[in-house]
Amino acid sequence: MRSVFLVHSLRKGGAERLVLELASSIQSTTITVISWLDNLEFLEDEYRNVKVISLIKESEYRWPFSLISSSKKLKFHLKSISPDNVVIFSHSVFWLAFFSKFKTKYIYVIQGFSQLSATRGYKKIVFRLIDMLFLRKLKCSIITPTEELSEESKKYFFVHSDKLEIIPSGVEVGNFKNTVLRREEEIIITMLGTLSKHKGQHIALDIIQKLLSKVPNIKLHIIGEGSIKGELADLIDQKKLQNNVVLLGRRDDAFNLMHESDIFLHLSLSEGMPLAVMEAMMCALPVIAFDVSGVRDVVSNNGFLCDYGDIESIATKIFELISNNKLRNNMSAHSREIALKNFSKEKMVENYDSYLQRLIESNN
C-alpha cells in the first residue's frame, strides 16, 4: 500500500509533529509527505527518514493565487507515486487536492475547529458551500480526534456518521515523573505552544501578577515562538515580572522542561486536540486550563477547568494546588494514568494503521 500525506508546510508545531510521527511510524503503507511549501523546519531533527516532497518555495506562495499552478505540480507527483490514498491535514491543501483532479481515496484529518472555516459573515457561507462541494467531489472520509469535533464536522459538511472516524491524537510516553513538588523554594508553572492571543500567554501574565503576593517564589516558563513574542516581552517589563516570567522560545528539550515543572497552564480559546496538554499529562503534570472545546476532552480529575476569561478562578486553582500537595499529587498521578491509557503515540499509530488497512480492504 502507498499513501500520501498532504500538508501545508512542516513548520515546528503540534499538528505538523503529529503528521511526521504518523509518517515515520505506520508500517502497513509506504508514506510520502507532500508539503505545499518548502518550510521543512522539522526535518532538521528526528524525522530525516521521512520522504518529503515540496511543491513551491515559501516566497512564491500567494493564497489563493498559488492554487492552480501548485495543483498541477501536485498532480504530477501523485501520478508518479500512484497512491492508494491521500490523507489531507489542513484546509488549504484540501482545496489543493480538489484542484489536482487526481482520482484516489481521500481522507481529510480535521484537527481543529479552524478547519471548519474560521471566516465570518457571507465568506463563511461561501467557504462552507465550497468545502461541502469539494468533500463530495473527492468522496472524502473524515478523521477527527474528538467526539465534539466529529459532531461539528458532521454538521458543517452535512455528511452521514459513517463518513467519520474518531482517532484520538497521541504523544510520546516519556519517562515517569515523581509526583511531589520539585522543590519548595521555587514553584514552576509551564506553558507550551505558539505565542498568540488565541493561546492566551498574555492572560497568564495577569494571573502571575495576582499570585505574587501569596507566592513570591512562583515562576512561569513560556515555551514557544509566535507573533506576540515582542508584545509579551514588553508586558513582562511593564508589569515588572522579569524575575518571575521567562520566555524560553522554541525548545527541543520542551519535554524535559515540563518534567522539571510542577503545574501546566493552558489558556487557549479553543482546541481540536491539545497536544501540549497531553504531553504535560505524560509528564504527570496537573493541568489548569479554560473549559473550552478540545481541552475538556482530556482534562477531568487530573486538573481544574475554569470558565474562559475567568483569571480569578485560574489564580485561585493554582494557589489551591500549590497549597495542597496531596491534591496535586493525586492529580499528577491521574494525568499520567489518563495519558497512558488514551493518548499514547503507539495507540494513535495503531488506530491510523488499522483504519488505512480497512479502507483498502473495503475497496477490494
- Note the Cα 86 to chain centre separation in Å: 20
- Partnered with residue 344 across adjacent β-strands are 171
Q: Which pLDDT score is estimated for 43? A: 63
Block residue for cell numbers 491535514: 89
What is the DSSP-derived secondary structure letter of residue 40? -
pLDDT in tens, 294-350: 899 999 999 999 999 999 999 999 999 999 989 999 999 999 999 999 999 999 999
**pLDDT above 90 for 153:** yes
- Average pLDDT value for residue range 120-127: 80
**pLDDT beyond 80 at 119:** no
Residue 80 confidence class, pLDDT cut points 50, 70, 90: very high
Considering only the C-alpha atoms of the chain, give the largest distance between any 2 of them, rounded to a whole number of Å.
67
Q: Which amino acid is at 17?
A: R
Q: How confident is the model at residue 44 (pLDDT cuts 50, 70, 90)?
A: low
For residue 360, what is the DSSP state? Answer: H
Residue 32 in contact with residue 81, Cβ under 8 Å? yes
Q: How far apart are CA 146 and CA 64, in angstroms?
A: 30
Name, in order, each residue with C-beta under 8 angstroms of 326's C-beta and a sequence gap of 6 or more. Answer: none
Closest CA to 305 of 338, 268, 352: 268
Summary count for the chain: helices (H), strands (E): 12, 13
Tell me what the pLDDT averaged over the chain comes to: 91
Mean pLDDT of 251-276: 90
In sequence order, which ranges of 173-310 are alpha helices (DSSP H)?
Answer: 201-211, 229-238, 254-259, 275-282
Q: Which of 216, 178, 203 is nearest to 266 (CA)?
A: 203
Residue percentage of the chain with pLDDT more than 70: 94
274, pLDDT greater than 60: yes
Q: What is the mean pLDDT of the segment spanning 181-197?
A: 82
Q: What is the pTM of this model?
A: 0.87
Handedness of CA 324, 330, 336, 342 (dihedral sign): negative
76/58 Cα distance (integer angstroms): 19
Residue that has been written with the C-alpha cell 507532500 in this structure: 34
